[in-house]
Amino acid sequence: MSDNVDFWFDPSCPWTWITSRWLVEVSGLRDLSITWHSFSLWELNRGRELDPGYRAHIDEIRGFSRVSMGVELEAPERLAQFYTELGSAIHTNKVPKDDAALAAALEATGLDAAILDRANAGEYDEALAASTRAALDKVGDDVGVPVIAVGPTAFFGPVMSPAPHGEAAARAWDGTLALATTPGFFELKRSRDVGPIFD
């Protein structure tokens, strides 16, 4: 019997993209069923004082989670495919993070281009805020994405670069879950010494 895993992502985040590809690989090794959920880094940081450069970045990438939420609402069965198309383009292939990339991902997934216009008009913002809050209610406000939930257990991360593959990927999942389900366990962290590596 497969374990159900909920995964919250902002498609603009390269670290979340790495974790998502790792989890997809692990799903075939540990019989996991993944349900994808939209998360907004813009919503997370709304009203917060941020470094001006990061604030500009958050404003620039706001549309990515808005469109993701549109896909989740209009065609939830295609959200994983949309994320794969978009993430492969902007992270792996370094396509500019703009509306053209979003439109291309919608087209490649066979979705209505009007989702982009409706997202930019704010039609999905209320649902996106609710989805973001649902993730934060599970793990707290001092995290970002990815957020993973397995039954009653939820956590931020893991953040990896590069992610392991094969049996090493499965062992990393087993270890992550073992720590996350340990009562009283909160944090395991070290400083990053590399940027996102997509392989």
β-strands 3-9, 32-38: how paired? parallel
Low-confidence ranges of the chain (pLDDT < 70): 1-2
* Cα–Cα distance measured from residue 70 to residue 130, given in angstroms and rounded to the nearest whole number: 13
pLDDT, residue 15, reads 97
The DSSP symbol for 8 reads: E
pLDDT, residue 3, reads 84
pLDDT, residue 68, reads 98
Instruction: Quote helix, strand, coil % in the chain, to nearest 5.
Output: 55, 10, 35
pLDDT, residue 49, reads 87
Cis check for the bond before 11: say yes or no (omega within 30 of 0). Answer: no
β-strands 153-156, 32-38: how paired? unpaired
pLDDT, residue 147, reads 98
Taking only the tens place, the pLDDT of each residue in 170-185 is: 999 999 999 999 999 9
pLDDT, residue 54, reads 87
pLDDT, residue 72, reads 98
Dihedral class, residue 31 (left if φ above 0, else alpha if ψ from -120 to 50, else beta): left
